[in-house]
Amino acid sequence: MTNPRSAAAPDPNAVAPAVASLEPIVSLSKRRGFVYPSSEIYGGINAVWDYGPLGVELKNNVKRAWWRAMVQERDDIVGLDAGILMHPQVWVTSGHVGSFSDPLVECATCHRRYRLDELPGAESLTVADLADPSVIERHHLVCPNDAGPLSAPRQFNLMFQTNMGPVQDEGSVIYFRPETAQGSYVNFKNVRESSRKKIPFGIAQIGKSFRNEISPGNFVFRMREFEQMEMQYFLPPGGPAAAAAFDEWLPRRRAWYEAYGVDPARLRLREHEPDELAHYAKKAVDVEYRFPFGWKELEGVHNRGDFDLSRHAAASGQNLEYFDPATEEHYIPWIVETAGGADRATFTFLIDSYREEEVKGETRVSLALHPELAPYKVAVLPLLKKRPEIVELCHRIKDDLKRDMMSVYDDTAAIGKLYRRQDEIGTPWCVTVDVDSLEDGAVTIRDRDSMSQERVGLDHVRRVILERLAAARP
Ligand code: GAP
């Protein structure tokens, strides 16, 4: 949804991004199998991306890390996996059919379409401006492509529609969900009763969402099909409980990115102005990251009050009140949500971990990914692939490690090159088997970041790696 203030934030160059441009990230992603353009052999489809063999590992690890922090380590939060397709009334009641839109303008000559608030010269527009038919004239805005005249803005609903069943008429219209949150709200009663949770408690979900964004872009930053990681925290009604929940969740969510290696200097919090709030929010603060294209939202923490549950109770006729045994009151809970994106988080970890340095006259590229996030934890490499005993030992070590973690064997180049290839995809440790290993029963463990090497007995490799992984865990 439209966020005019983000573009108008203070000097974005005061904090340097981790990389000056997205080019090395996009190129590494394609070359090494993190992210590919969707349907590429047909020319691609705008704003949909596919995760390759390494990308799917990285993104799964990001989702696991979120689930660990938000469900596994919490006694007061449970998980849910609601359907993407829901009763269409959900989206009428939630306000998305009426209000989930962005201002669209079209060039009269080249017919390109733009989000009004993202046009050059639109940085200072207010939310009122975005709905004002005279805004184009008043601010002398023109098409950035050919300087042609632009239409007055019209509200463009971001939800994808489809039809359910064999008849395609108005009665069969349903929507691809634009947020996972509504699945948690319509299941509030089911989850509370089956899990016997007492307020305050939360429902966490990870899942696909879809938005027909007018101006997607910046690689996987803004997509039309993406994955969200959202947690809805149900509270007693009123400002004080919501403020306390905000005070807990905002620093906690920012700290999660830091714990997994994002430089704190490239994170900041930004509160939404009252006229900028989404239709459901009483208060919203974004955790922003300094992307190469500016400070942008990574995750939002929102006070949604009783907006969603009250409306669903009224529209469905179901009683969604909670009986609080402590105060002996019936009430509709308030909700503070933490709303993040799995793709945006994955993208951030990729960008922030990217390193280029000079080593022995050559450029070494590495991803200093947190070991928990790294696609492979270990690569097992032979110093001499011509010696079958060495290769056999490598496979034994790799097969042993494989039971506990993603590990890989590679012998397709000389050892220096093999190290560089693993550095480039963020593998924290390489285990090298050499001729001496056959005599002394020891191998070398090389560390990605320090490039230091340690000789370890064969029987200890698995334990050493597991200990290092456990020690790194936030
Ligand atoms: N339930 C509230 C909600 O959906 P949002 O700020 O619209 O709030 C939450 O979205 C998060 O979902 C964002 O902070 C972002 O990480 C991710 N997200 C939203 N739209 C996205 C898009 N088009 N592409 C990738 N991620 C997106």
What is the reported pLDDT for 13?
Answer: 63
Mutate to test the pocket of ligand 1, among 6, 101, 185, 226 (most ligand atoms within 8 A of CB): 226
Measured N-to-C along each axis, helices 23-32 and 342-353 cross at an angle, to the nearest 10 degrees, of 100
Query: Could you give the percent of the chain with pLDDT greater than 70?
Result: 97
Distance from C-alpha of 173 to C-alpha of 85, rounded to nearest angstrom: 11
22 alpha carbon – ligand 1 mean position (Å)? 20
Q: Is 141 exposed, middle or buried (0-12, 13-18, 19+ CB in 10 A)?
A: buried
pLDDT at 45 > cutoff 50 = yes
- Cα distances (Å, whole numbers) of residue 114 to 47, 78, 102: 15, 40, 10
Q: Determine the straight-line distance between the first and last CA of the chain, rounded to whole angstroms.
A: 33
By percentage, how much of the chain surpasses pLDDT 90?
Answer: 89
Q: Which of the four pLDDT bands, split at 50, 70 and 90, describes residue 7?
A: very low
**Cα of 163 to ligand 1 centre, how many Å?**
24
**Residue 380 CA, ligand 1 centroid: distance in Å:** 38
**Does residue 224 carry a pLDDT above 70?**
yes
Q: For ligand 1, atom 7, name the residue with the nearest CA.
A: 1
Q: What is the pLDDT of residue 279?
A: 86
Euclidean distance between CA atoms 442 and 455, whole angstroms: 6
- pLDDT value, residue 3: 53
pLDDT band per the 50, 70, 90 thresholds, residue 315: very high
Strand partners, 331: 322
Give residue-wise pLDDT tens across range 372-395. 999 999 999 999 999 999 999 999
Type of residue found at 319: N
Residue closest via CA to ligand 1's atom 15 equals 341
How many angstroms separate the CA atoms of 144 and 278, rounded?
28
pLDDT at 123: 83
Residue 42 main-chain phi, psi, to 5 deg: -100, 15
pLDDT in the model for residue 124: 84
d(CA 353, CA 437): 33
**Ligand 1 centroid distance, CA of 249 (Å):** 17
From the CA of 228, give the closest atom in ligand 1: 12
Q: Does ligand 1 lie within 6 Å of residue 230's CB atom?
A: yes
Taken in order 131, 137, 142, 143, is the CA torsion positive or negative? positive
Which residue, judged by its Cα, is nearest atom 22 of ligand 1? Answer: 222
Question: In the predicted model, what is the mean pLDDT of the chain?
Answer: 95
The label of the residue with tokens 């000079």 reads 358
Place of tokens 């560089």: 420
Return the ligand 1 atom nearest residue 222 CA: 24
d(Cα 184, Cα 192) in Å, to the nearest integer?
11
* Res. 12 pLDDT band, cuts 50 70 90: low
Output 128 or 271, whichever has higher pLDDT. 271
Instruction: Determine whether the shortest distance from the Cβ of 115 to ligand 1 is under 6 A.
Output: no
> Which range, of 97-106, 122-131, 155-164, averages the lowest pLDDT?
122-131
Q: Using an 8 Å Cβ cutoff, are 390 and 434 in contact?
A: yes
What is the C-alpha separation between 410 and 174, in angstroms, rounded? Answer: 48
Digit-coded pLDDT (tens) for 54-111: 999 999 999 999 999 999 999 999 999 999 999 999 999 999 999 898 899 999 999 9
Predicted confidence band of residue 125 (pLDDT cuts 50, 70, 90): confident
Q: How confident is the model at residue 11 (pLDDT cuts 50, 70, 90)?
A: low
Distance CA(67)–CA(125), nearest Å, equals 38
300 pLDDT band, cuts 50/70/90, is very high
